[in-house]
Structure 1
Amino acid sequence: MADHDLAPHELRILVAVADAGGFSAAAAALGLTQSAVSHSVRGSERKLGAVLFTRGRTGAAPTAAGERAVGYARRVLRLLDAMAADVRGADRGRVGGGRVEGEVRIAAFRSAALHLLPAALHRLRERHPGIDARVKVVREVGAGTAGEVLAGRADLGIATLPTRPTAPVPAGLVGAVLREESYAFVHPAGHPDPRSLPLVDWVENCGSYTRRWWGEQDWIPRATVETEDDGAVLSMVSAGHGMAIMPALSLTGAPPSVQISDLGPDRPFRSIGYVTTPELAESAAVRALIRELRELRG
């Protein structure tokens, strides 16, 4: 092992300090002494050549370098778990079309978790009951679901990706587009002049892939009502409090009190896909989930 390599127990300590927010709390969680945790972190900092945590009276917080280190630590530890599961599966003759076991952690934004994932997880459970799928709903703002994967907190993310023609996957990840869906004009059914209504919006809507189109529409006002999620937007529109521009997945199960109108040939689209790390893309459990997700293409 090279002098700068970190052992698994050192990686676990870095993750524990970041998660617990301090050396004492991490030591308690790991069943170690505080001095052992401090010594390990200092050793990791020396090996990596960077300060990983700021120390203070209220605890410890990762530096920018520490955030990167902890992200890699989570990913390496997760890969070790995946390796053990895959090796056990290979020993039982289960890899490559047979039964697969292990955990897969999924980060998904709200509408994907509600309307896209359930069918894939149902088939995954039927074909591979030994896979333990865990879903975390993450707001698709900032780093979003892809950030959860990069930080090692998820194995696979259901993410919104830039639209055609390239639909690039964020750096450091691999993935593919699962579906492209258009945006629509959503307003109370039967309203005589729906474009006169105030705009209802939510923070996750209108990402960079639709901003240019949005800015070119002089009939769309600034949002005067902003809600927490797309479900609340749909409820507000249904009750007659405004109109909205929403993607197709968010309109799944829209009530009859809502009218959905096409925005025309230049309407914006968004791409929904999956992202994972190159290493975990080769693990049996993640591969099995990707197969089920690809069957949802449409």
Structure 2
Amino acid sequence: MAAASAISAALLPPVPGAAAAADLAPHELRILVAVDRERGFSAAARALGLTQSAVSHSVRGTERKVGAVLFERGRKGATPTAAGAAAAAHARRILRLLEALAAEARGAERGTVAGPLRIAAFRSAALHLLPPVLERLAARHPGIEPEVRVVRELGAGVAGEVAEGRADVGIATLGAAPPAAAGLIGDVLVEDPYRLVHPAGHPAPRSLPLVDWHENCGSATRRWWAGQDWIPKATVLAEDDGAVLSMVSSGLGMAIMPALSLDGAPEGVETAALGPEPPTRTVGYVTTPELAATTPVRALIRELRAARR
């Protein structure tokens, strides 16, 4: 890998002026994104219907223009460097704006709001918060084509999908860091309180083992959690909140879950308050400053805010 980087670096001339990157064409950005996605030049070539040499030539040209090595070349394919990951994220966002440009122009000519709308959301938001919002959006703007992807709130999570150009809008849990820290904008939609969830009719639910899942709770809630000496260490870890509810309804333990995850809880489950000041998670939307100005994103934000009211 190191040798490959050295060879790639040797191909680069001295860093050109800042204007050189502006010479990048859309097809070069598409190739950059494809190599990042496919993790290889040959795989990217197949996906784009190009030759492997054409893809390699394009990437080398892009590297010369930006003045940085974007991919580590090796037997296992092409791994993006830190510069490559950043460049691919910018490329995805630029390509999405070019798509929006065409859609906005057609919409302005026809007096309609139309085009694709990529939404990322964590599971319970996609199940319970988004459907009525999208129903109203479809009634007002039938030309908008929503695409919803469920993203786990681990690592960069939903906000990361937006920041990296894979989604236009994200319904995310907003942690201690504001969206602006990731170059995003957004707003709070709901403060989602946590509740104790247990098998129906159990006489002492706090004595039960704890069932949990990795995405559960933000850092603030975990600090509250750590100060409660009655909460045991989880003995069962599930994949998601739906699996947790199924296990609790089967009598395998109790759980501490946000209210949004409890919509449509199965029979055999009851909930109880965690006290006068229960922990909450903040749920909101995030998008990029550029996409926030596009008509499909603005339309969705209006419906999200109406649902909040």
Q: Please tell me the TM-score bracket, short chain as reference.
A: over 0.9
Give every structure 1 segment of 4 or more consecutive aligned residues whose post-TM-superposition deviation is greater than 3 Å. 166-170
RMSD: 1.5
From 147, 151, 154, the counterpart of 2:167: 154
- 1:261 and 2:272 matched: yes
| Cα distance in structure 2, aligned partners of 1:3 and 1:196 | 65
Deviations 1:159-207 (A, max 9, x none): 00137xx965542001101111110011112111111100000011022
What 5-or-longer segments of structure 2 have no aligned partner?
A: 1-17
- 1:185 and 2:196 matched: yes
**2:121–2:150 contact (8 Å) kept in structure 1:** yes
What 5-or-longer segments of structure 1 have no aligned partner?
A: none
Q: How many residues align?
A: 291
1:4 aligns to what?
21
| Partner SS, residue 84 of structure 2 | helix
- Cα gap change, 1:168 to 1:21, in 2 (>3 Å): closer
Where in structure 2 are the equivalents of 1:191-230 lying within 5 Å? Answer: 191-230=202-241
**1:54–1:61 contact (8 Å) kept in structure 2:** yes
| Cα distance in structure 2, aligned partners of 1:101 and 1:180 | 31
How far apart are 1:141 and its partner, in Å? 0.9
Equivalent AA in structure 2 for residue 178 of structure 1: L
| Cα distance in structure 1, aligned partners of 2:243 and 2:179 | 30
| Cα distance in structure 1, aligned partners of 2:211 and 2:298 | 39
**1:185–1:262 contact (8 Å) kept in structure 2:** yes
- Taking structure 2 as the reference length, the TM-score comes to 0.91
Deviations 1:2-43 (A, max 9, x none): 322222111111001112221122122222222221111111
2:133 aligns to what?
120
From 71, 74, 77, the counterpart of 2:95: 77
How far apart are 1:108 and its partner, in Å? 0.6
From 26, 37, 40, the counterpart of 2:44: 26
| Cα distance in structure 2, aligned partners of 1:182 and 1:88 | 43
How far apart are 1:214 and its partner, in Å? 0.6
**2:221–2:280 contact (8 Å) kept in structure 1:** yes
How far apart are 1:296 and its partner, in Å? 1.4
1:89 aligns to what?
107
**1:146–1:170 contact (8 Å) kept in structure 2:** no
Q: Which has the higher helix share?
A: 2
| Cα distance in structure 2, aligned partners of 1:69 and 1:167 | 23
- 1:174 and 2:185 matched: yes
**2:217–2:281 contact (8 Å) kept in structure 1:** no
2:73 aligns to what?
55
**1:54–1:62 contact (8 Å) kept in structure 2:** yes
Equivalent AA in structure 2 for residue 220 of structure 1: I
**2:205–2:254 contact (8 Å) kept in structure 1:** yes
| Cα distance in structure 1, aligned partners of 2:229 and 2:167 | 40
**1:187–1:243 contact (8 Å) kept in structure 2:** yes
**2:179–2:286 contact (8 Å) kept in structure 1:** no
**2:71–2:80 contact (8 Å) kept in structure 1:** yes
Where in structure 2 are the equivalents of 1:124-135 lying within 5 Å? Answer: 124-135=137-148
